[in-house]
Structure 1
Amino acid sequence: MTSPPVFRKAGEVRPSQLITTFGPGAIVDTRALSVIVGGLDTWNTERTHIIREPRLERILKVSHFLTPSSGGGGGVPAYVFPRYQHCPECGTLSLYGSDDLKHTRADREPECNAPGCNQPREEGAPGKGKPRRVRTVPAPIVVACAHGHLDDFPWREYVHRGDTECTRRLRLFTRARTGSIADLVVECDCGRDDPKKPSKVFRSLSDAFNQEKFTEECKGRRPWMGMSEYDAHGCQQPQSLRAMQRVATNGWFSVVRSALSIGEQATPLRRAVQECNQGQIEKLTTPEGVKVMLDMGMFPSLSGYTPQEVWDELQRMRGLKELSDTDLRRPEWEVLRDPDSAQDDQKDLFLEGGEVPTGFETEVTRVVLARKLLEVRALVGFTRIDAVAGFDDELPDQLAPLSRTPLDWLPAVEVRGEGIFIELNETKLREWEGQKAVRQRALQLAVNFSTLQRQFRGRQPVPFPGARYVLLHSLSHALIRQLSLDCGYSASAIRERIYSSTDPEQPMSGILLYTASADTDGSLGGLVDLGSDKRLPELLRGALRSMERCSSDPLCADHEPAEHGGLKGAACHACVLASETSCETFNRFLDRNFLVPTMARSDLAFFGREHLR
């Protein structure tokens, strides 16, 4: 075998793409080859930018985050994958590094060196006497499993229908009959020498996508950690191996956790504690002591809080109490509801109080304009086959690792932008949730949610987020579509952050619609200006009017979760669904019947017909 060239630079991706699209374990098509991004163990961390976000660090149990450098000796290592290369001229399938490939400069594709393909040009052809130069392309098919393992397609075993010691030439060609996958045929030359086999050994690739005929088992290979790396524990479900196209969108789904940078002392309770006499605060060592001091009126700024709330906050400030997953959004909710806590335009978060839109005083409690905001997005792992990120707040059970051993850092990016925060009226919301029709609809979705989770490789169900989440989520999508028409950003550039909780002690019912660019600072200002008292009322009415009818009605409006078993009601691409870059739950938990009266239902709407005029 010949030695393949060493690539110094295979291609380029943006730092944000390493978090959302082309992270460790993802296949990237470069100018020269198809490569797989290497694991975090192989990254050069000397020229990286350090990102600090204490709340997210505690949740993910890391000490810091890193953004890879794109120059100056930085970059991210990658390996050639798949190893099989295909010659479009003669159809030969060759392993990268074999004698059937001619490896030229490292910045160019390898050339086919198979017998008969690299012969001198015929008499009268341009370039007479010179060998033909046919550049190969990566093999179109790979195999993967739901646990994140990835491997080359077993071409030899597949065409011979089992283990084989054959080393004859393999070819892949198309019969060009129907344009389907059945036209692709892989063949082996070993049938030529057998008089009982007048034709070559061949097999259509259609069998590879038939689970009953494709019975190869997963070997637990993890090429992003090294071309010879295999899972030490093997694959828990070796029969789950599936063939897929090399560039299939279900080949890599990022699992990202994010947090707004609000500062450790931005919450109202934290600021109230800071206003107290710190010498006396430090003497409080028990919840009982806190209660005694509050009863004595020693801390006037804490008069509106319970002793347990103050004690828990003191424990967090002292680093003695760990945050739960819900704490990632709870502090943000408190800050967004209190724009006075972020009035410094030199900080990462700059808030401004807005006006409740005219005509919506009963349904909307608060509007806050985020003139500036900063979000930290960290990649914690990935999945293949199924996009389970966003299915619930917990990390997936089958999360594929980014490195061989756990590290004290994760890759992340900072994104800056602007946004609009809208809080719904809690009293009105509880009245709406108590309606019989709403409870029945929510029960249908809850049953489907529980059933789908049990079917999803036996996962234990987590609580259904509730009817209010479906309402908030549907309103968020309706506003995203309406905002994109006026603010100058595309709909895919506007993201959502849902704050929903039915906890009677600490309820949440709001949405943050924001836009952020991962590679530049600042914002265009077009989004936040739509939250003004002059523009927001009409924008909200326009969003609700667009939900009243859909071009797919009556099929869309009549969609019943009980009949179809899904996690959506009246929702389709023509009305409510948004791009996956915008939605935090992959377009689940949506129903425009919860927003306004439609041609199918009028008893589920939170907003009445008077809001459409």
Structure 2
Amino acid sequence: MTCNAQFPEVDPNFKQKYYCEKELNQKGTPASLARLVLRNSTGLHSAKNLTSVQIPKISGLLFKELSPHVPVLRTILHYNPQLNKSKLVSELKQLGNEFTSDTINEIEQTSEDELIPLIKDMVNESSQNNQNRNNLKPLSESESNDEELTSLLEAARTGYPPSATIGKKHAYVNIEDRITVESKEFGVTFRICPIKELHVIKTQVGYTREVGGTDSISNLTNSRVGELVTKSNYYDDEDETTRWYLGDENYGEGIFIDIIESNIDGPGGLNPIDNSSSKNLDTWVSINNKLNEHLTNFSEHDLLRKDELEQEITKSNSRFVWWHTLCHKLLLNLTVDSGFSIVSFGERTYCKKNKRTGKYQSGILIYTSATGSDGTLGGLVSLAKKEFMTELFKKTAKGILSCSNDPVCSERKIAEDKKEGACCHACELLSETTCNYQNRNLDRNLVKDTMP
């Protein structure tokens, strides 16, 4: 069928702004396979969002008030290496209306032992960020997720930030707040680490249509997600050196959960999959191995497609499926006992192979965020108590073992041409705004096979 390369979302009044990139047919016009989709189908426009989660090194009310004025603080610090509180207040008052009276009062009420290190940390952090931007290198989505997991595991082990100059008041991962839950139901020890403050950045990079692709990756993954369309989602600078996407920065809190052996300060990231064997597990391993075989077939000019395949490889890993399935059931039980609605939660499932040890590291992050500089009010991290979490894991185990739709639900077996195992709306499926992976790669049977 002939393609006219029209993008109504870019220009409703059709102008030949883009040209079809499909191969020409015998008539010399671009053509592709036609697909029929219902006009009101939810799969007609499936947004592709990228989410990045960061634990801020510095935060608090004073930090937020001073953040817009880092260049001024850098200049003051440059000309006053031995800066003290009284000198800082004097310099700021001379700047007139640039600093509000409320900010000055907040500075005067802060002790000098806390104020001066905060100023220096803010200036140093800003300088480091500027240097990182100048040395910017391409970072795939998989690499970004792996860096998040590394940071979360380190924070769960040593706290964050680990600097003694920040003090307990600014310890957004305080190691004294960590707890462990020895779950007899799952046969493991969970380490639960509350994170008091998170920055969550969501960016919409395009959309797809669930019509089934014809490229190599779609054939490999048996996916019904078509090619990514990005033309209406970005803006290029005049010099075409920078591309801007529509994004949203929220502030919130979260709970990071992983598995440890016995020492709470251990590296963590373990999984009962490593000591398990079952037919479901063998099928997931086979699917993952087949995807891995094609990873070397991509050139440097096809990094986007390679990143998509890397994401599919990660999501088909049995450890990822185990954590993802557990996370969904935890969230459903958490909404009942906490008062949070399911749509207010977000989830991140992590799984990566440690290049140094060759072992896999994995875990989940459950978070909630809100717009505005204040973010959320601590309701989620306050739930990270031993008694509450112990009971929560017990309820989660019961929910994984049975479903109100059984035996229909549990009889859905994973296969190489169907990567959704035992899951349904009665037991596992969440709203699409909550699940970061479109309710795919879930399997209750896989988790049940690992339970004692």
Match of 1:341 in 2: 160
Secondary structure at the aligned position of 2:313 is classed as coil
Match of 2:277 in 1: 435
Q: Relative to 1, partners in 2 of residues 1:529 and 1:450: Cα closer, same or farther, differing over 3 Å?
A: same
Residue among 338, 350, 357 paired with 2:181:
357
Residue among 515, 523, 540 paired with 2:376:
523
| Superposed displacement of residue 533, structure 1 | 1.2
Residue among 324, 329, 332 paired with 1:473:
324
Paired letter, 2:201 = V
Is 1:327 matched up with 2:143? yes
Match of 1:250 in 2: 43
Match of 2:346 in 1: 495
Q: Relative to 1, partners in 2 of residues 1:235 and 1:501: Cα closer, same or farther, differing over 3 Å?
A: same
Cα distance in 2, alignment partners of residues 400 and 318 from structure 1: 26
Is 1:543 matched up with 2:396? yes
Cα distance in 2, alignment partners of residues 520 and 240 from structure 1: 48
Is 1:261 matched up with 2:103? no
Cα distance in 1, alignment partners of residues 423 and 144 from structure 2: 29
Is 1:581 matched up with 2:438? no
| Superposed displacement of residue 514, structure 1 | 0.9
Paired letter, 2:9 = W
Match of 1:421 in 2: 256
The percent of aligned pairs where both chains have the same amino acid is 24
Is 1:570 matched up with 2:422? yes
| Superposed displacement of residue 385, structure 1 | 3.9
Is 1:228 matched up with 2:21? no
Paired letter, 2:313 = F
Deviations 1:385-429 (A, max 9, x none): 4499x989xx98543322687443211111222211101236862
Aligned ranges 1:583-602 → 2 under 5 Å: 583-596=435-448
TM-score by length of 1: 0.47
Paired letter, 1:255 = K
TM-score by length of 2: 0.62
CA RMSD of aligned residues (A): 4.1
Unaligned runs of 5+ in 2: 23-29, 60-130, 261-267, 296-304
Match of 1:368 in 2: 193
| Superposed displacement of residue 345, structure 1 | 8.3
Match of 1:55 in 2: none
Aligned residues of 2:180 and 2:386 also touching (Cα < 8 A): yes
Cα distance in 2, alignment partners of residues 246 and 345 from structure 1: 55
Q: Relative to 1, partners in 2 of residues 1:380 and 1:502: Cα closer, same or farther, differing over 3 Å?
A: same
Q: Relative to 1, partners in 2 of residues 1:248 and 1:324: Cα closer, same or farther, differing over 3 Å?
A: closer
Match of 2:113 in 1: none
Match of 1:219 in 2: 4
Residue among 361, 375, 383 paired with 2:208:
383
Cα distance in 2, alignment partners of residues 414 and 331 from structure 1: 19
Deviations 1:196-223 (A, max 9, x none): xxxxxxxxxxxxxxxxxxxx64311112
Deviations 1:489-522 (A, max 9, x none): 2122211101111345363210001112246842
> Greater shift after overlay, 343-352 or 355-364?
343-352
Deviations 1:286-313 (A, max 9, x none): xxxxxxxxxxxxxxxxxxxxxxxxxxxx
Aligned residues of 2:347 and 2:436 also touching (Cα < 8 A): yes
Cα distance in 2, alignment partners of residues 349 and 252 from structure 1: 38
> Greater shift after overlay, 581-590 or 426-435?
426-435
Aligned residues of 1:354 and 1:369 also touching (Cα < 8 A): yes
Aligned residues of 1:348 and 1:373 also touching (Cα < 8 A): no
Aligned residues of 1:333 and 1:499 also touching (Cα < 8 A): yes
Cα distance in 2, alignment partners of residues 404 and 582 from structure 1: 24
Deviations 1:198-251 (A, max 9, x none): xxxxxxxxxxxxxxxxxx643111122222234532252744445555544223
Match of 2:335 in 1: 484
Paired letter, 1:221 = Q
Aligned residues of 2:55 and 2:197 also touching (Cα < 8 A): no
Cα distance in 2, alignment partners of residues 404 and 475 from structure 1: 36
| Superposed displacement of residue 252, structure 1 | 1.9
Match of 2:313 in 1: 464
Cα distance in 1, alignment partners of residues 369 and 269 from structure 2: 33
More helix by share: 2
| Superposed displacement of residue 328, structure 1 | 1.4
Secondary structure at the aligned position of 2:180 is classed as coil
> Greater shift after overlay, 370-379 or 525-534?
525-534
Is 1:400 matched up with 2:233? no
Larger radius of gyration: 1
| Superposed displacement of residue 570, structure 1 | 1.3
Aligned residues of 1:355 and 1:366 also touching (Cα < 8 A): yes
Deviations 1:15-54 (A, max 9, x none): xxxxxxxxxxxxxxxxxxxxxxxxxxxxxxxxxxxxxxxx
Deviations 1:132-177 (A, max 9, x none): xxxxxxxxxxxxxxxxxxxxxxxxxxxxxxxxxxxxxxxxxxxxxx
Q: Relative to 1, partners in 2 of residues 1:384 and 1:428: Cα closer, same or farther, differing over 3 Å?
A: closer
Q: Relative to 1, partners in 2 of residues 1:447 and 1:505: Cα closer, same or farther, differing over 3 Å?
A: closer
| Superposed displacement of residue 321, structure 1 | 5.8
Aligned residues of 1:359 and 1:537 also touching (Cα < 8 A): yes
Aligned residues of 2:343 and 2:433 also touching (Cα < 8 A): yes
| Superposed displacement of residue 578, structure 1 | 1.4
Cα distance in 2, alignment partners of residues 243 and 431 from structure 1: 41
> Which of the pair has the greater relative contact order for Cα pairs under 8 Å at 6+ separation?
2
Secondary structure at the aligned position of 1:329 is classed as helix
Secondary structure at the aligned position of 2:9 is classed as helix
Q: Relative to 1, partners in 2 of residues 1:429 and 1:330: Cα closer, same or farther, differing over 3 Å?
A: same
Is 1:533 matched up with 2:392? no
Aligned residues of 1:550 and 1:575 also touching (Cα < 8 A): yes
| Superposed displacement of residue 554, structure 1 | 1.0
Cα distance in 2, alignment partners of residues 220 and 379 from structure 1: 22
